Amino acid sequence: MEKLETIIIGGGPCGSYTALNLAEKNIKVAVFEEHEKIGLPTHCAGHLSIEGLKNLGLYPLPKEVLENVFYGAKFYSPSGREFLVKFNEPVTCIVNREKFDEHIANLAKKAGATYFLNSPVKSLIIENGKVNGVLVQQNGKKLRFMAPVIVDAEGANAKLLRQTYLESQSRGAFVYGFQMEVEGVEDLDPNVVEVFLGKEYAPGFYAWIIPKKEQRAKVGLAAGKGNLRELMHKFMHKHPAASPKLRKVRILRESIHPINLGGPIPKAYSDGFLIVGDAASHVKPTTGGGVILGLNCAKIAADVAAEAIENEDYTAKFLSRYQKRTMKLIGFDMKVMLTMRKMLNQISDGGLDRLLGFCRKIRLEKTVKDIREIDFQGRIIIREATKPGVLAFAVYLFMVYFFSKR
Ligand SMILES: Cc1cc2nc3c(=O)[nH]c(=O)nc-3n(C[C@H](O)[C@H](O)[C@H](O)COP(=O)(O)OP(=O)(O)OC[C@H]3O[C@@H](n4cnc5c(N)ncnc54)[C@H](O)[C@@H]3O)c2cc1C
């Protein structure tokens, strides 16, 4: 095999997008994926902003990847109170995550990246404090692969990261997501996603119904505590707004996976080593969405790795520019989203009822109708804050939060 310049651990979207950006710069890159097929097993709803994908050069998507597009979202309080935000054009979409991951991997392969499937990385090879390579299990043998830059894209569990001195996100910041694909959903508007707020059904997060075609949907919830199956059963059979839609569904697939809501890990680089995607916790603490922000940071990782190769400098000092650039891009938004997550977690179910009632009363949907980009939420808040409706909402939110805390 030719001498490698970069190794990527994990063939998820962030690993493959890093590989794609490196291969496009003619850098020799190999991706090691533990499973025998890219994209499987899936654990994600695949709900993504169209603007976010466009900015990454990934939209329009191939037909087999795109499952549906949405003009807005309907929010429900625990007692079933609704608040609908709808736009004139599609703002988000849902992708088949298996096909989406495959699509990015295929782009990377076409650009020149090499993929090794069925190849779990068992450990990092660390020499004199520098990550120099990986030990990979292939066909019953343990093989060493070396490269000057190793990119860790192993996802939320981030087991290999623990081999380094770098801090991974504490388990306290995790919620666990229960995701299902179902058929036979009733009374669903195929043009909007549905979000169900409240501690009673999803403590520490929310539940969702994302319509696909032909009465199929992705249904899920995540929670920081409680038994996920019991919560899901209660959501499907007792929630005043969700249960009439879900009572008769047939479950086609299900999965459980962690989501890290703690904001980015404090340091996502060391000598010869960069961390991307869920492993670096580049995930929105408000919604748990990690694809768009993760891909944005993966692109920065590829740029920095390429610069390191050009300068033959793989030191932590050189690679620290990855941290600087990613934090410049997402740092402020992450701080705002972390605060929002903390506030949402504090608000009582009664408070959420009042909040959604207030949104309807002031017709907030009319004020926010120009928002297209939903990933960098800190910036959106700053931009929209001067609008009277948004200001009124913010004041009311603080009041509800304050009185929920007491
Ligand atoms: C229930 C749920 C719903 C979600 N819904 C959304 C959503 O709607 N929108 C959104 O943007 N985000 C969503 N997310 C988050 C999203 O799934 C992640 O942010 C995204 O998958 C991160 O991509 P990644 O490439 O960093 O990690 P992953 O997609 O987890 O990929 C990591 C890859 O590394 C491989 N791997 C791990 N360890 C090794 C090893 N030692 N050796 C080799 N390979 C290894 C894995 O097999 C996997 O292929 C959801 C998450 C959950 C749990």
Say what the pLDDT of residue 103 is. 98
Atom in ligand 1 nearest the alpha carbon of residue 258: 53
Residue nearest ligand 1's atom 22 by CA: 278
- In the predicted structure, residue 371 carries a pLDDT above the cut 70: no
- In the predicted structure, residue 358 carries a pLDDT above the cut 90: no
pLDDT, one tens digit per residue, over 156-211 is: 999 999 999 998 877 778 999 999 999 999 999 999 999 999 999 999 999 999 99
Confidence of residue 137 (pLDDT cuts 50, 70, 90): very high
Distance from the alpha carbon of residue 162 to the mean position of ligand 1, in angstroms: 18
Q: Are residues 266 and 238 in the same domain?
A: no
Q: Are residues 116 and 203 in the same domain?
A: no
Looking at the structure of the chain, the number of domains it has is 3
Inter-residue contact 72 to 191 (CB < 8 Å):
yes
Q: Are residues 153 and 206 in the same domain?
A: no
Atom in ligand 1 nearest the alpha carbon of residue 220: 1
pLDDT, one tens digit per residue, over 220-251 is: 999 999 999 999 999 999 999 999 999 999 99
Higher pLDDT, 178 or 80: 178
- Report how far apart, in Å, the C-alpha atoms of 403 and of each of 4, 354, 396 are: 58, 12, 11
Q: Are residues 103 and 12 in the same domain?
A: yes
- Report how far apart, in Å, the C-alpha atoms of 144 and of each of 35, 126, 132, 350, 397 are: 19, 12, 10, 57, 54
Residue nearest ligand 1's atom 11 by CA: 289
Residue 285 falls inside a structural domain: yes
Distance from the alpha carbon of residue 48 to the mean position of ligand 1, in angstroms: 14
Confidence of residue 134 (pLDDT cuts 50, 70, 90): very high
| 278, 293, 375: residue to mutate for ligand 1 pocket, most atoms within 8 A of CB | 278
Give me the CATH number covering residue 225: 3.30.9.10
Task: Give CA–CA dist 365/272, Å, rounded.
Answer: 48
CA-based torsion, 119, 122, 125, 130: positive or negative: positive
Inter-residue contact 147 to 22 (CB < 8 Å):
no
- In the predicted structure, residue 373 carries a pLDDT above the cut 80: no
Distance from the alpha carbon of residue 155 to the mean position of ligand 1, in angstroms: 5
Distance from the alpha carbon of residue 375 to the mean position of ligand 1, in angstroms: 17
Q: Are residues 103 and 28 in the same domain?
A: yes
pLDDT, one tens digit per residue, over 242-295 is: 999 999 999 999 999 999 999 999 999 999 999 999 999 999 999 999 999 999
- Residue 120 CB less than 6 A away from ligand 1: yes
- The DSSP-derived string for 65-113 is TEEEEESEEEEE-TT--EEEEE-SS--EEEE-HHHHHHHHHHHHHHHT-
- Residue 277 CB less than 6 A away from ligand 1: yes
Residue 67 falls inside a structural domain: no
- Residue 161 CB less than 6 A away from ligand 1: no
Which residues lie below 8 Å from residue 7, measured CB to CB, with a gap of 6+?
29, 30, 31, 32, 133, 134, 145, 147, 149, 150, 151
Average pLDDT, the chain: 93
| Global confidence as pTM | 0.95
Say what the pLDDT of residue 324 is. 98
E strands present in 99-173: 114-116, 121-127, 130-138, 141-146, 149-152
pLDDT, one tens digit per residue, over 92-114 is: 999 999 999 999 999 999 999 99
Q: Are residues 256 and 266 in the same domain?
A: no
Q: Are residues 187 and 303 in the same domain?
A: no
Of 41-55, 183-197, 378-392, the one with minimum mean pLDDT is: 378-392
| 53, 103, 291: residue to mutate for ligand 1 pocket, most atoms within 8 A of CB | 291
Boundary (domain end) residue, out of 322, 338, 354: 338
Residue 127 falls inside a structural domain: yes
- In the predicted structure, residue 338 carries a pLDDT above the cut 70: yes
Q: List beta partners, residue 210.
A: 218
Task: Give CA–CA dist 280/293, Å, rounded.
Answer: 11
Domain containing residue 375? 345-405
Q: Are residues 276 and 367 in the same domain?
A: no
Residue nearest ligand 1's atom 1 by CA: 177
Residue 387 falls inside a structural domain: yes
Q: How many CA atoms lie within 13 A of 36 on its CB side?
A: 1
- In the predicted structure, residue 55 carries a pLDDT above the cut 80: yes
Boundary (domain end) residue, out of 201, 236, 260: 260
Q: Are residues 383 and 302 in the same domain?
A: no
Please give the radius of gyration of the chain, using alpha carbons only, rounded to the nearest integer: 22
Q: Are residues 226 and 193 in the same domain?
A: yes
E strand or H helix at 208: strand 206-211
Share of the chain residues as helix, strand and coil, in percent rounded to the nearest 5? 40, 25, 35
Confidence of residue 391 (pLDDT cuts 50, 70, 90): confident
Tokens of 147: 């490269």
Distance from the alpha carbon of residue 157 to the mean position of ligand 1, in angstroms: 9
